Amino acid sequence: MNKEYKGDWYLPKNKDKISGKLIINSELKKITLELYTNIYLTEEPIIYNKFETTNQRQFELITGETSKKITLFNCIFRSASSIGKHLHKLTYEVEFVFLNIHLSKITDLKIHKVEVKYPYLSTFFDGWESIKDFDDKAESNIKSKPISVTEKLELILVDRYYKKITKLGEGFEMKYSKSIVFQYSNGETFNHVIRNLYKFSKLLSFTTKEIAYFDLKSIFIPLEQIKNHDKYCLISNGLCQTSVINFSHHRHSEIDKTFLHQNFMLFSKWTFDEKELNHLIKMWFNNIQLIPIYDFYIDSNNWFKGKSVILSNVMFNNKFLNLIQGLESYYDIKDPDFMKDNDTFTKNRQKLTNEIKDVELKKWALKNIKFPKTPTLIHKLDFLITKFNGVIKLINGIDSFIEKYSIEATRYRHELSHGRIEMTYQGKELDKIYSFSKVLLCFCILESLNISNNGIKKICSSNEYLKREFKKITSP
């Protein structure tokens, strides 16, 4: 379904206005601006059948005068064509539409609040309460107490109950939606806000193993930063609310999904109380140093489900290398004391050299086989296995696999990273090592959120995705 806004369009600092229409195609999830003109937006003339590339460029902002005041953000040239000798059509693809306001710049804009919709919010935040009873419900907006995330950021959950007409003259049905307001104490730049919205997306992706993008519904901007606004624009406490239309951040995701069974979530209100869940969110946002590790794990679950892309052996090998890098990085960031057991090393080295009959070879071994000053990858993996041993040992039939995991994972890492392989496909053994590496990194991330080993055990006992990985590891 298309929504069109017809009117005049121009750059914020220019006077000449160009007639055209903004087309919002919800089905294709595409926003385009078509201009009908004999001049460019830069006010330079268009020469018939000679479109100058200097004018076919990206514009940060284009403002529009239609039935509403409109600001378009991030407008990219897509095509130009002659309609006649004195009229041409220029087409731009638009990323964001801000309704009811005119902005002159966005770089220094301070956003104080944004309202956003994500999938699975009710399941994640409400637990048993996500099973809604609509009997005797009146239309209402219910806001939660603020959830403190960082010094500058709070989250507020908004539950909306609203009536939707079924058929004209046949009544209505009660609908429900849940969204989040990101509220900043001193305001933040638009780019910083978008990064935070993605950070929460990744939290949902981690716990659900699903792609979880977002739909930015509205933003709240200080009135003094707005060039102009419609008279019916909502203004409260010096902030002007503007509705936002955007598809680029949820083009391949179903935002309206609300329910996911608790056994397919690592944690939620089903398994943690409100205080614990809020603490997990806070830890996720504040563990800035661990973000690349979180990304490695989330990417390991991206198998291009529902897309035409096929995961190749090369891509699978790279995902394995990312998991190992994530495990090694987690060890390095935690920086545990490296316990040097020189006595045991010296005794074992002596046993080894005693078996060597060649005198020169024995001298070489004694000279070159030295105790490592820094931990090896094998040591790091063994350390993490020991850390989560109480959880791992509950996996039936995993003992024989664990005995050789660190050595084999290290061997594959070295061979794949240095190109010492004869075939791209490494066989089923690497599949098992991949699955366990993913499980081990998952445990590390859960620990980084202050979930104890007992808490991880509880998650393992119910989470279906982890159970499937356990079966892959222990299957013959």
Q: Is the pLDDT of residue 450 over 70?
A: yes
Residue 150, pLDDT above cutoff 70: yes
pLDDT band at 169 (very low <50, low <70, confident <90, very high): low
Query: If you average pLDDT over residues 139-168, what whole number do you get?
Result: 86
Q: What is the dihedral of CA 242, 188, 283, 446, to 10 degrees?
A: 60
Q: What is the pLDDT of residue 173?
A: 73
What is the pLDDT, as a whole number, of residue 37?
Answer: 92
Going by the DSSP 8-state scheme, the letter that residue 32 receives in this structure is E
Instruction: Annotate 154-178 with b (16+ C-beta within 10 A) or e (fewer).
Output: bbbbbbebeeeeeeeeeeeeeeeeb
Range of the domain at 320: 297-338+374-474
Residues 206 and 136 in one domain: yes
pLDDT of residue 57: 80
Q: What's the CA gap between 354 and 346, in Å, rounded?
A: 12
Q: What is the pLDDT of residues 412-424, one digit of tens each?
A: 999 898 777 767 7
The arithmetic mean of pLDDT across residues 297-306, rounded, is: 80
What digits encode the pLDDT tens for the residues 198-214?
999 999 999 999 888 89
Read off the pLDDT of each residue in 74-84 and give the average, rounded to a whole number. Answer: 89
Please state the domain count of the chain: 3
pLDDT at position 358 over 90: no
Give start and end residues of each alpha helix (H) in 7-160: 121-126
Contact 14, 39 (CB under 8 A): no
Given 224, 257, 286, which residue is the final one in a domain?
A: 286
pLDDT tens digits for range 113-148: 999 999 999 999 998 876 666 666 777 788 999 999
161 and 89 within one domain: no
- CB burial of residue 68 (10 Å; 0-12, 13-18, 19+): middle
Burial class (CB in 10 A: 0-12, 13-18, 19+), 302: middle
Let me know whether 214 and 237 are in one domain.
Answer: yes
Q: How confident is the model at residue 84 (pLDDT cuts 50, 70, 90)?
A: confident
Nearest-angstrom CA–CA distance, 326 and 147: 29
Residue 221 has pLDDT above 80, yes or no: yes
Cα dihedral 424, 430, 436, 437 sign: negative
Distance CA 230, CA 240 (A): 10
**Does a structural domain hold residue 197?**
yes
Judge if 33 and 132 occupy the same domain.
Answer: no
What 3-state DSSP class applies to 456?
A: helix
d(CA 473, CA 475): 6
Q: Tell me: do 127 and 86 sit in the same domain.
A: no
Q: Give me the mean pLDDT over the 250-272 stretch.
A: 86
Q: Annotate 354-413 with three-state secondary structure.
A: HCCCCHHHHHHHHHHCCCCCCCCHHHHHHHHHHHCHHHHCCCCCCHHHHHHHHHHHHHHH
Residues 18 and 135 in one domain: no
Arithmetic mean of pLDDT, 268-286: 96
Q: Which residue in this structure is represented by tokens 């977002």? A: 214
Asked whether residue 363 is domain-assigned, the answer is: no
Burial class (CB in 10 A: 0-12, 13-18, 19+), 255: middle
405 phi/psi in degrees, rounded to 5: -55, -55
Q: Is residue 178 part of a domain?
A: yes
Is 85 a residue whose pLDDT tops 60? yes
Contact 113, 183 (CB under 8 A): yes
* Residue that wins the pLDDT comparison between 306 and 253: 253
Q: How confident is the model at residue 361 (pLDDT cuts 50, 70, 90)?
A: confident
Tokens in use for 36?
A: 């009908």
Final residue belonging to a domain, choices 51, 72, 99: 99
Residues 95, 120: one domain? no
Domain end (from 99, 131, 153): 99
Claim to verify: residue 50 and residue 192 sit in the same structural domain: no
Neighbours of 320 (CB within 10 A): 22
> What would the two tokens of residue 218 be?
């509205």
pLDDT for position 42: 87
Same domain for 202 and 301: no
Give the model's pLDDT for residue 124: 95
Residues 315, 276 share a domain: no
Least confident of 54-58, 102-106, 235-239, 385-389: 54-58
Please name the residues in contact with 145: beta carbons below 8 A apart, sequence gap of 6 or more: 156
Report angle CA 256, 294, 276 to the nearest 5 degrees: 70
Measured distance CA(438)–CA(472) in Å, rounded: 12
Q: Which amino acid is at 438?
A: K
In a domain, 201, yes or no: yes
Q: What is the 8-class DSSP label of residue 132?
A: -
Q: What pLDDT was estimated at residue 107? A: 84
Considering the domain architecture, whether residues 303 and 168 belong to the same structural domain is answered as: no
Query: Is 350 a domain residue?
Result: no
Alpha-carbon distance of 172 to 161, in angstroms, equals 13
Q: Is residue 106 part of a domain?
A: no
Is residue 236 situated within a structural domain?
yes
Distance CA 108, CA 101 (A): 16
Single-letter amino acid, residue 180: I
pLDDT at 341 over 60: no
| Token pair 């005995």: residue | 403
Q: How far apart are the first and last CA of the chain?
A: 52
Say if residue 150 is in the same domain as residue 194: yes
116 lies in some domain: yes
